[in-house]
Structure 1
Amino acid sequence: MKIDLHIHTNFSDGQPTYKEVIDKAKELRMDCIAITDHFDNYDPSPHIRKIGDDELIEFYEKIKSYAELKEQKVLCGIETCTDFKGDLRISDRVYQASEIIITSVHYVEYNEELVQGEYYNDKYWEAFKQKLLNMAGSEGHVQGHPEGYLPINPLIKPGTTTYEERKALCREISVRYLDNIYLEELAERFLLSNKAYELHGATGTPRESVVELMTSKGVKFSIGSDAHILDWIGKNQLGEEMINKYKGSLFRSFR
């Protein structure tokens, strides 16, 4: 089964239109994709903050109409960041209309001083770890990129790092702070909530040892490229290999 359950369009911060995404999925013979644009009234981006319920629901309707025309299975959903406790901040209307909800730690509620260039701030990353635990045990279907695209922006001096350098930094932070004791607790939270751990195509995360541990605990997985451009859609080879190698279970119980 070829799936990609994390794709963005120009509705939020992606490049392609929803029609282009669906056409690409059809071309790739995808069994199922999910269009999961950003939806968060607390997001640092003004463009994302201003997206309202009516606009989102109308977007879902357009997606479903075109998907039916093209005979392509598409789930309509969102990627959002919760509050620190892990609680969703969306209306019941949006919750009920969304077939898949990805929660990702895009930012951390942290009030102490942060110094740009000092990447290994222990207190900041402990706050991140607690928020990730809270989110893993709370609402939503999928925990997005737990070891990729970490909330490093407050620590980065603008213009001093490349995309690849930031990916490498996230890997180093994951190795330093997300040890096995923490991962065992994280797995327990996933089992309590039945939320899936995302195998993230864009960053090739998490580490293989994490997949092995989560599989041994019975945690389910979701496969998503986090594509923001057409060429990234379906690029989930590493995640697919890990699922096959460790005989992991994919999360399919969407409402």
Structure 2
Amino acid sequence: MKNPSLPKIDLHIHTNYSDGLPTMAEVAKAARLKRLALAGVADHYGYAKGRMKPWRLRAYLAEAEAEGLLKGVEVDIFEDGHVDLAASERRLFDYVIGGVHEVAGVAFWGDPSPIPDPKGFVETVRVAVIEAIESGLIDIVAHLTWLPEDIRSEVNSLITPDWVDSVVKAAASKGVAIEVSGAWLVPDEWVVKRCLKEGVKLSMGSDAHRVEDVGNLSYPLSLFKRLGVKLEDLFIPRPLAPEA
């Protein structure tokens, strides 16, 4: 379902600079073909496995600029709330996405390891995300409410209204956006409603790792249409070009 009143803005696209398959040129071409109003690359960055290393950063930024793509980045939020980005690097990007990808040695994707204390686990996630928001280093929180395999089916009982409200209020106080993911179909509608109530901006992202997934925004666009989301509710890091 399309929402004709909102532009398609995909700020979460991975390339072969980290763990994605497409080149920058392929992403740019796909963005044009799919008529995205804005497209931004957001490759994983840092020293962990599958991350773009700092010595490739200059080439990454230059190529994104040459291809007309926004220069974003996705950094890890560690379980202690530390963000894997130096303050001096923050200014190099049009926006910074922060995401939790592992807690207590359990990865959030492809890892069926048992989690003996689910409530303690999600509390660690909550505190880490809030500390990352308060660091001033990130603009967007990615895949909020996504959980590892062992406890994913328990999300409705583990991610409580109080859990969400504390994160949303922190985001509101710091002007940090919450991503609505076309890949992972999170967060749920009730979470997005809380974001809107608190004035938290919403970001759209496909989290594409393949060229065919660039611009996969069906979930956020259909949700936004249902909720009456307006242009001013969106996180837009660069002014949109006037419509022809």
TM-score clears 0.5: yes
1:81-92 to 2 correspondences below 5 Å: 81-92=76-87
Deviations 1:46-93 (A, max 9, x none): x42x711x41122110121133xxxxxx21111011344534332344
Matched, 1:97 2:92: yes
Q: Distance in 2 between matches of 1:110 and 1:122?
A: 16
Shift in Å, 1:242: 1.9
Counterpart position of 1:78: 73
How many residues align structurally?
224
Counterpart position of 1:142: 140
Q: Distance in 1 between matches of 2:206 and 2:101?
A: 17
Which of 96, 119, 122 in structure 2 is aligned with 1:122? 119
Matched, 1:198 2:199: no
1:152-191 to 2 correspondences below 5 Å: 152=148, 166=149, 170=152, 172-191=153-172
Cα distance, 1:228–1:253 mapped onto 2, change above 3 Å: closer
Q: Distance in 1 between matches of 2:84 and 2:186?
A: 27
Cα distance, 1:173–1:194 mapped onto 2, change above 3 Å: farther
3-state SS of the aligned residue for 1:97?
coil
3-state SS of the aligned residue for 1:29?
coil
Q: Distance in 2 between matches of 1:11 and 1:119?
A: 36
Deviations 1:210-242 (A, max 9, x none): 111221221110000100011111111120122
Cα distance, 1:214–1:235 mapped onto 2, change above 3 Å: same
Shift in Å, 1:186: 1.4
Shift in Å, 1:3: 1.0
- The two structures have a TM-score, normalised by structure 1, of 0.79
Counterpart position of 1:21: 27
Partner AA of 2:59 in structure 1: E
3-state SS of the aligned residue for 2:41?
strand
Matched, 1:38 2:48: no
Cα distance, 1:25–1:119 mapped onto 2, change above 3 Å: farther
The list of structure 1 runs, each at least 4 consecutive aligned residues, that deviate by more than 4 angstroms after superposition, is none
Matched, 1:252 2:236: yes
RMSD after superposition? 2.5
Matched, 1:51 2:48: no
Shift in Å, 1:100: 1.2
Cα distance, 1:188–1:92 mapped onto 2, change above 3 Å: closer
Is the CA contact 2:79–2:102 (under 8 Å) kept in the aligned structure 1?
A: no
Counterpart position of 2:4: none
Deviations 1:179-201 (A, max 9, x none): 11221111110111110000011
Cα distance, 1:119–1:223 mapped onto 2, change above 3 Å: farther
